[in-house]
Structure 1
Amino acid sequence: MSPSSRLTVAIHILTLLAHEASGEPVTSEYIAGSVGTNPVVIRRLLAMLRKSKLVRSQGGPGGGWRLVVPAKGITLRDVYRAVESEALFPLHASTPNPRCPVGRTIQAALAGRYGEARLALERDLERTTIADLLQEVTRLAR
């Protein structure tokens, strides 16, 4: 799964859990049906979200997943940090030519700008919560 879809699917999962907040746990199979993917993909993302203390699981009959934090307390930045470990804009996969004036300096020139772009993205994601998305999804579903 690509990093961008990982974030989108994780947001989908949390919004669905907020929507289904009737007190009953939600199974990964149910979530997979909503997302349109395999339950294994969902379980991997749920494990990342659990590690970040956003969700918890309940085993046994009637088990499933629930939010740990209220939807209004989960920002998209929280989700981004929970599931995205890769650089937003990766540098070269191999080392550029150190004898070239551009090759030896391009990574240093880009690193700061890429860091600033990541911080700007995180600041923007901080302004939206899962509760905000749930409200919009509910409005659009009418």
Structure 2
Amino acid sequence: MKRDSKLSSVLHVLLHMAHSDRPLASEELAGFLQSHAVVVRRTLAGLRELGYVRSGKGHGGGWTLACDLQAVTLRDIYEAVGSPALFAIGHRAEHPQCLVEQAVNEALDDAMQQAERLLVDRLGQVTLADLSADFNRRAAAHPRKRNIHAI
């Protein structure tokens, strides 16, 4: 099953914006993700409506951050992109007649709900500023410091 990388992708472009001294065009952000500019614009439009980013049109326009990195958590962004499914595990049948399968489903549901709560809680403890600081540490230690995307 293909993994949902939307949260990772959005965090990636947000950090590029955080470390840019100018607005970044959708095409440029799409290049960082090896994606398409339309996908980037569609995704960032939702974040713009929530006040996390802003966009400018025309020459010199592009996407910039509109939020405080210290105040925004990974959970905020996770919820902003629609709270994608965290796990790919599912039931063989949603409403089984078999009592064994009912027991299996209940055990899986309980474990998955606990794991999801734990993960979402952890996302709420990490801010965009934490990610930015981690990137800064990595970049400072890396021998090729010029192109932050190639590092």
Compute the TM-score of the two structures, normalised by the length of structure 2: 0.76
Q: More displaced, 78-87 or 117-126? A: 78-87
Aligned-pair Cα RMSD in Å? 2.3
- Per mean C-alpha deviation after superposition, the further-off stretch among 64-73 and 110-119 is 110-119
Q: 1:38: Cα distance to partner?
A: 2.0
The 3-state SS of whatever aligns with 1:102 is: helix
1:6 aligns with 2:1: no
Distance in 1 (alpha carbons) for counterparts of 2:60 and 2:102: 58
- The answer to which structure, 1 or 2, has the higher relative contact order (CA under 8 A, 6+ apart) is 1
Gap runs ≥5 in structure 1: none
Pair 1:48–1:115, CA change in 2 (3 A): farther
Shift of 1:103: 2.5
Secondary structure, counterpart of 2:101 in structure 1: coil
For residues 92 and 25 of structure 2, the distance between their equivalents in structure 1, rounded to whole angstroms, comes to 39
Cα gap change, 1:73 to 1:138, in 2 (>3 Å): same
> Do 2:73 and 2:127's aligned partners in 1 also have CA atoms closer than 8 Å?
yes
TM-score (norm 1): 0.80
Match of 1:73 in 2: 71
Deviation at 1:9, TM superposition (A): 0.6
* Letter matched to residue 85 of structure 2: A
Distance 2:92 2:135 in 1: 39
- The Cα shift of 1:71 comes to 1.5
**Counterpart position of 2:131:** 133
Paired residue total: 138
1:64-115 Cα distance to aligned partner (Å, 9 max, x none): 11212111222111111112433323633753531x1123344344333322
Structure 1 equivalent of residue 109 of structure 2: 111
Query: CA contact under 8 A between 1:25 and 1:66: conserved in structure 2?
Result: yes
Q: Percent same amino acid among aligned pairs?
A: 38
Taking the aligned partners of 1:10 and 1:141, their CA distance within structure 2 comes to 20
